Structure 1
Amino acid sequence: MTSQELKEKLSEEDIRTLLTRDMGATIYYEDDDIWITETVCHHGKKAKLYYYKDSMSFHCYTECGQMDIFEVVMGFKGYEENEFQKSINWICIKLNIDNCEYGFGKQEQISDWEFIRNYKRKHKKNVAIEPLKPYDENVLRIFKKWFTLDWINEGISVETMKKFNIMYSTWQQKIIIPHYDINGQLIGIRGRSLIEEDIDLYGKYSPFKVGRKKFYNHALGQNLYGLNKNINAIQRKRKIMIVEAEKSVLQTDTMFGEDNFTVALCGSNLTSYQKGLILMLGVREVIIALDKQYETLDSEECKKWAKHIKDKIINPLSPYVVITVLWDTNDLLPYKASPTDCGKDTLLQLMDSKIYVDTSV
C-alpha cells in the first residue's frame, strides 16, 4: 500500500485529529470547503494555514506554500526531505493504524520508494501563480439541461440557470456548476450534491469527478465566479458585491438580470489573486455580503466573524476602494444564511442599511 493510498483512507476527522490533538492547532474558521488554522507547518502563530476539503490539500500563506498532510507533518516535526517515511510512521502511530498491515511499520522498507525518490519539499514563497488551464468544454455534453426544483424554490430562475450553463448529472444526482474565467474559458466544474448521505460524507460542493481519477477542479482562489457574466454591470456601476457561494450569484442574477454586479469568492477569504482582479476592474466600492455566521449580535461568535472579515477582506482592500458591509442588525436572516437567500426585498433592506467601514483610523 502506497502513501497515496494511506492519504486517501484518511477521513476528514482523521485530519482534524492530527491537526488539533497531535499538532496543537486551533481551527479558527470552518465551512463546507475549508478550515483555517495557525501555521503549525512551521510552528507559526498566524491563522494562515488553509485546508481545502475538496482536494485534501493545505496551503500555508506565509512560508510553506502548497502541501499535503505528509508535508505538514514533516514541517511540524522538523523532518528532512529524506525522512519522508517518518511522517508516514508518525501518522500511523497517532491514528493507531496497523503498521504491519499497511506496510509502513518500523521496518526499514516501505512499498513506495519511487514516490519518496521523487518527493521534493515545496517552498512556494514568492513563486508566481501559474494561470489556470482551460478544460475541453465537450465534457459538458455528458450532463443534462435539467433544472431542479430545489434551486427554483431557492430563488434561481430557469432563465438564470441557462445563462450560467447550470446542468444536472443524472447518475451522481448533482447540480453541475461550470466555472469560467474572465475570458469565458471553462476552468473547472463543481457539483452540488442533492443526496443527504453524500453531503454528510463529502459536503455540499465538490469538484466533479469522472471515473476514479479525473477531477475537473481548479484553484477557487484564482477566479471570481460570475465575473465573466457580470463584468459589464460591475464596470458600468463601478461597484462589486462579493458573496461566498455560486448560488448567491445566481439568485442576484434572477433578481437584477443585466444589472447584477455580484461575484462569488467560493469561500470566505479574499486571495491576493482575487484582490488583483477586483482592483483591475476599476471599481470604487466593494460591498461585502458574506453569510451570517452568528446567531446574535452580542455574541463572541459575531465578534470573531467580524474580525475574520476585517482581517481577510477589508484590510487588503481598504487602501484602494470604499468598503461597505451587509450586516444583519435587524435579524432578517436565519443563522448561516446568505444575504441573498431570503429574497429581493430582504436583500434590498440589507443594502439600504449597509455599514460604511471607516478605514481612516
Structure 2
Amino acid sequence: MSELQDIKKRLLEEDKVEEIYHAMGCEYISYSGGRIEAQLPQRYHSNNKRAVQTKLNRWMTSAIRNKPDFKGSDTFRPDIFSLVSYIVHDKRGEEEIRHDLHNAKKFICESLGWTEYLKGKDYKTKKDYVAPLKAILKDKQRVKEVKPNPILPEEVLDEFYFYGKPLPYKGWIEEGISYNTQIMYGIGFDLESKRITIPMRNRFGQLVGVKGRIMKDEDDDRKYLYLYRYLNRLEWFNFHYAHPYILTEKKVFIFEAEKSCMKAFDNGVYNTLAIGASEISPEQVQMIKQIGLDIEIILCYDKGISLDEIRKNAEIFNGRKVYAMYDVDDLLTDKNSPIDQGIETWNKLLRDYVFEVKPKKKQVVN
C-alpha cells in the first residue's frame, strides 16, 4: 500500500493527473477548485463535462457522477486507481474494482513510463509498433478545455508571514537573493512543513498558489510541496514582472527554478521566467508565442541537463528559433544554474556559450 501512496504522491508532485485522464480517453479535462474534472470517454455517451472528478489531495479521492456502481462506502473510498479500473478495464462495483488494483497500477505506471514500480527496475514493456498511429488518433479524438487557475485572496499569504509582512530567508540572502528582493516576491515560511514559501502568480500578478521549498537540498527528497495547489502548466513564474522587460529587450531567458529568477533580478537581469517543473507545457509555450514573433528564446538550464533534454524542450516551440546557454567548459559546478555563480560567470556564459538549438536529424534507413 505504501507503494500505491508513493505513486499518488508522485502524480501530484509531477502534475501527471491530467496525463492519466488523457490516457483513459477522458475529454474536456479542466481544473476547478482543487480537483481535476472531465467528461467520460465517447463510448459512454455522456455529455457531462464534469462527470469524472479527482481531488488533488493525498488520497486522490475520485468520483463519477450518476454512476451508482462507482460509489464509495464505509470500507471503500474510490481513488485514481479505481477510476482506471472502471473506465479502462470496465470493472463495476466495489469487489471487481478492488480485485483490479494491480492492473490499474500497471496502467498508470506504463502510461507514464514509471516501470520501476513494476516487477523491479528491469521491467520492460512490450513494444507497440502501432503506438504512433494510436497517438495520432487519440489526438484527433481528444478534446481539452483549459480553465484558468482560480484566484486566491492575498490574505492566504498571512499564514506564512509575520504580522502580515514577508519573511526573507537568511540562507537565500547569503546565496545572492537580497532581503528587498525577497520582500518584493513575498517570500515567507511554513512552520508545519518547515519550508520557505513562494507565492505563485498568474500573468496578471494575481495569486493562484503557494509553493513550499526545503531550506537545504539534503533536508528532504521532495524539494517542493504545493501548499496551495494550482496547475503549474498554465503559469510562468515571474511573468507579470518580466513581461515589459521581455518586450523591451526582445529576449527571454528561461530558467528551471524560481530562485534563478530572483538571483537574476538582483543582478539587474529582469527578462527571465522559470518553468517551475522539468518540462515546458504547451500552455506555457503559447504564452511565450503570444508575446511576439521577434522574441529571442534562450533556455538556461542547470548544469547536468543533457542536450537531448534541452532539445526536447526547445522543439516544443515549433516554428521559433530557440537558443540554449550551454556550459561546455565546466564553468559551472555541481548542478548550478547559470546565474548561481554571479554576474561575471553569467556574462561570460551569455557572451560565449549561447548556441542555437537545432532539431535532431532523423536517421535514414536504406
TM-score with structure 1 length normalisation?
0.65
The reply to whether residue 316 of structure 1 matches residue 326 of structure 2 is no
Which residue of structure 2 aligns with residue 289 of structure 1?
Answer: 300
Q: Distance in 1 between matches of 2:355 and 2:250?
A: 18
Distance 1:72 1:227 in 2: 36
- Matched-pair contact (CA < 8 Å) for 2:310–2:324: no
Q: Which residue type is aligned with residue 337 of structure 2?
A: S
Rounded to whole Å, the distance in 2 between the matches of 1:58 and 1:84 is 24
Matches within 5 A, 1:113-152: 125-144=142-161, 145-152=166-173
Q: What amino acid maps onto 1:288 in structure 2?
A: L
Task: Identify if the C-alpha distance between structure 1 residues 242 and 180 changes in structure 2 by more than 3 Å, giving closer, same or farther.
Answer: same
Name the CA distance, whole Å, in 2 between partners of 1:360 and 1:9: 37
Q: Deviations over 1:77-129 (max 9, x none)?
A: 9511636754543447999xxxxxxxxxxxxxxxxxxxxxxxxxxx9922120
CA shift digits 1:129-176 (9 cap, x unpaired): 011110111111222222222211221111111111112234543211
User: How far, CA to CA, are the matches of 1:92 and 1:219 in structure 2?
Assistant: 28
Q: Sort the Cα spacing of 1:61 and 1:255 in 2 relative to 1 into closer, same or farther, 3 A.
A: farther
- Secondary structure of the residue that 2:335 maps to in structure 1? coil
Which whole-Å CA distance do the structure 2 matches of 1:94 and 1:273 have between them?
29
Partner of 1:230: 242
Query: Structure 2: which amino acid aligns with 1:351?
Result: L
DSSP 3-state at the match of 1:10: helix
Q: Does 1:206 align with 2:207?
A: no
Equivalent residue number for residue 331 of structure 2: 332
User: What aligned pairs does 1:112-261 form with structure 2 within 5 A after superposition?
Assistant: 125-144=142-161, 145-194=166-215, 199-200=220-221, 203-208=222-227, 216-256=228-268, 259-261=269-271
2:22 counterpart of 1:59: no
Q: Aligned residue pairs: how many? A: 270
Counterpart code for 2:143: N
3-state DSSP class of the match of 1:59?
helix
Q: Which amino acid aligns with 2:250?
A: R
1:354 maps to 354
Question: Residues 348 and 83 of structure 1: is their aligned pair in 2 closer, same or farther, counting only changes over 3 Å?
Answer: farther
- The letter for the 1-side match of 2:296 is E
Q: Is the 8 A contact 1:287 1:323 kept in 2?
A: yes
Q: Output the CA distance in 2 between the equivalents of 1:93 and 1:345.
A: 54
Seq. identity, %: 24
Counterpart selection for 2:274 from 261, 264, 268 = 264
Query: Contact 1:325/1:355 (CA < 8 Å) preserved in 2?
Result: yes
Moved more, 263-272 or 84-93: 84-93
2:267 aligned counterpart, secondary structure: helix
Contact 1:179–1:225 (Cα < 8 Å) also in 2: yes
Instruction: Return the alpha-carbon distance in structure 2 between the equivalents of residues 197 and 337 of structure 1.
Output: 15
1:69-108 residue pairs with structure 2 within 5 A? Answer: 69-70=80-81, 74=85, 78-80=88-90, 82=92, 86-91=96-101
CA-to-aligned-CA distance 1:17-48 (integer Å, 9 cap, x gap): xxxxxxxxxxxxxxxx97xxxxxxxxxxxxxx
Distance (Å, rounded) in 2 between the aligned partners of 1:337 and 1:136: 34
Instruction: Show structure 1 runs of 5+ residues with no match.
Output: 1-5, 17-32, 35-50, 96-122, 209-215, 295-304
Residues 339-348 or 260-269, more deviating? 339-348
After TM superposition, the structure 1 stretch with the greater mean CA deviation from structure 2, 52-61 or 340-349, is: 52-61
The aligned amino acid for 1:266 is: G
Task: Give per-residue Cα distances to partners, 1:196-247, cap 9 Å, x unaligned.
Answer: 78623xx111111xxxxxxx11010100000011111011111111111111
Q: Which amino acid aligns with 2:154?
A: E
Q: Is the partner of 1:153 in helix, strand or coil?
A: helix
Instruction: Give the unaligned 5+ runs of structure 2.
Output: 27-35, 37-53, 55-59, 61-79, 106-138, 362-366
1:10 to 4, 10, 31: 4
Equivalents in 1 of 2:3, 2:360: separation in Å?
Answer: 50
Secondary structure at the counterpart of residue 183 of structure 2: helix
Give the CA deviation at 1:290: 1.4
SS in 2 for 1:288: strand
Deviation per CA, 1:261-313: give whole Å up to 9, x if none. 1101111211111011101111521000112235xxxxxxxxxx3222222x2
TM-score (ref. length: structure 2): 0.64
How far apart, CA to CA, are the structure 2 residues paired with 1:270 and 1:54? 12
